[in-house]
Structure 1
Amino acid sequence: MWKNSKGFSLLECITAFSIWMLTAAILLPSMMYITLERHNNAKEITAIKLLSGYLNESMYENRSIPIGSRSIKGEKYTIILEEVPDQEACVQWEEKPYRARKSCLPLP
């Protein structure tokens, strides 16, 4: 700045604005990715809680696991049984960006 100046010059303002915009351009994609992953992790936690709840009910009340789709908070979760080397109960759901996920727990 010049000696008798009462504020910032245009060049200083443009430089400061450019630094802020560069910082925002670097951080914005990261923040979007973090937000998306937080949403996907919340869906996964809900799916695992749903499946473990059904497994606990079936184990303590001696009845079969309800197979089919359930909707929780507007999201669709599908419960299936798989016959791999051991029998497993699985839950499937959609994540953003439009990929299917599946989590399985072994049957007692």
Structure 2
Amino acid sequence: MYKNSKGFSLPETLVAFSCILMIAGMFIPFLIHYASQLKGLQYEVEALKFLEEGVEKAIVSHEYVDHSRIYRGVRYELDWKGGGNEEACVHYQKRDIGPNEVCISMGG
């Protein structure tokens, strides 16, 4: 009886390739969603850093001045609300994420 021991046959190769494609097809949408969430969190972290720097500068200089900066194509604007030193917010907006805001107030 003839026995082929030189490698995989065509049907075995096709089954293995289709299994790999099915697994990749299930995980690719998950990875795309995860990457977009990570990008949004990176924007929020940059806004929190800018907020921290602005509050530290205001505490040291006692000047509560609004200012802004652009970092990696995103504009971050520091805004003092409530009579100067009660609340500080950083607004940021990017085309694909929409407007967002992080704030800190004297009460918490």
Q: CA RMSD in A?
A: 2.2
Aligned residues: 104
Counterparts in 2 of 1:71-86, with a 5 A limit? 71-83=70-82
Note if 1:3 corresponds to 2:6. Answer: no
Counterparts in 2 of 1:92-107, with a 5 A limit? 92-95=91-94, 97-107=96-106
Normalising by structure 1, what TM-score?
Answer: 0.81
- Aligned to 1:38, the other structure's residue is in SS state helix
Listed as ranges, the gaps of 5+ residues in structure 2 are: none
Residue 95 of structure 1, CA deviation? 4.8
Determine if contact 1:82/1:89 at 8 Å carries over to the other structure.
yes
Question: 2:46: which partner in 1?
Answer: 46
Amino acid at match of 1:71: I
Normalising by structure 2, what TM-score?
Answer: 0.81
| Per-residue deviation, residues 6-37 of structure 1 (Å, max 9, x unmatched) | 22111111110110001111111111111112
Listed as ranges, the gaps of 5+ residues in structure 1 are: none
